[in-house]
Structure 1
Amino acid sequence: MSGDFAAHYNHPGVAMVASSGDEGFTVPNAPAVYGNVVAVGGTSLTRSGNPRGWAESAWQKATSGCSAWVAKPAWQADPNCPGRTVADVSAVADPKTGPAVYETTIEAGWAVIGGTSASSPFIAGVIALAGHHGQYPDASRLYTNAAQLNDTVGGSNVQGEDCGGDYLCTAVPGYDAPTGNGTPNGLAAF
């Protein structure tokens, strides 16, 4: 799994971004699990009276997990996974609170979309806006600049079983697998 297709996601000067998946806490998906890819998880948004105007939690279906096949990258230091942990960063993915898009081909009009298939291109767009796409041979930039992201705390992606609140399936302060290092707070981290 780690070697056959990973080379196809290695393009110096191009940020490779992939959705973590929509299966909750499980075995990480390729290509998000590859060490040279930015793995994007997902969150849910709720209106809030805080200065940001939104509270954010882990989306219950965003895939996260610990790889038994892909080695842990040097820039990833989480303690409970000896292999590559997914995700690195996140954006809203809950179809109930996702981004609005205007559909023109099938049924014209606005629709709210979701899934990490929505959060991943959102992050790709943020990387493009920041203008540093050449600095993404992997996701290490998002670990170095983690303090400049919105840290997502709360929520879990466990479907029916309990993982004891572990960071591999629960959004905790700092890095956690469902939401990575957090969500965009402007462009500074990117």
Structure 2
Amino acid sequence: MGDSLSAGYGMSASEGWVSLLQQRLQRDAPGWRVVNASISGETSAGGASRIAKAVVREQPDIVIIALGANDGLRGLPLADARRNLARMIGASQHVGARVLLVGMRMPPNLGADYTRGFEDNYRLLAKTFETALLPFLLEPIASDRANFQDDNLHPTAAVQPQLLDHVWPALQPLLR
């Protein structure tokens, strides 16, 4: 469950890190199936409204929740984002799924308190719900402008393997 960063915005569906994950799983951990329920523009509220039906329908063993970037860009109150993500984690765990919470960081334009609180939301939720946490999806590519499309928000197709390599160590223990 993600936003445009996981939906593969600006590239063919097969080039995004989630599609690359399916390919890696077929090679390294056969038997796993990936359902990419990511939607460009998705917020944590949208994910929270979709999660119950999705997990009941799919009965997943693992749910990767990679939402929040659009919340931060819109200045959503931190408590609202935290509540929405908590709903998603709770619904996933309710059907027996293990959760990998994938965090995001915000630029400082909304102030240091918001930026710090935004990042802290992910740590707090991971601790509260005892989920796996990858603190920042874009960590390996964030510092180089060349890794992003012209909008300076969405990674290029060329760096999608790096994103997968970054997610993989956090996901791999959940596959056991």
Please report the TM-score for the alignment, with normalisation by the length of structure 1. 0.30
Please report the TM-score for the alignment, with normalisation by the length of structure 2. 0.32
Kindly indicate whether structure 1 or structure 2 has the higher relative contact order, using CA contacts under 8 Å at least 6 residues apart.
1
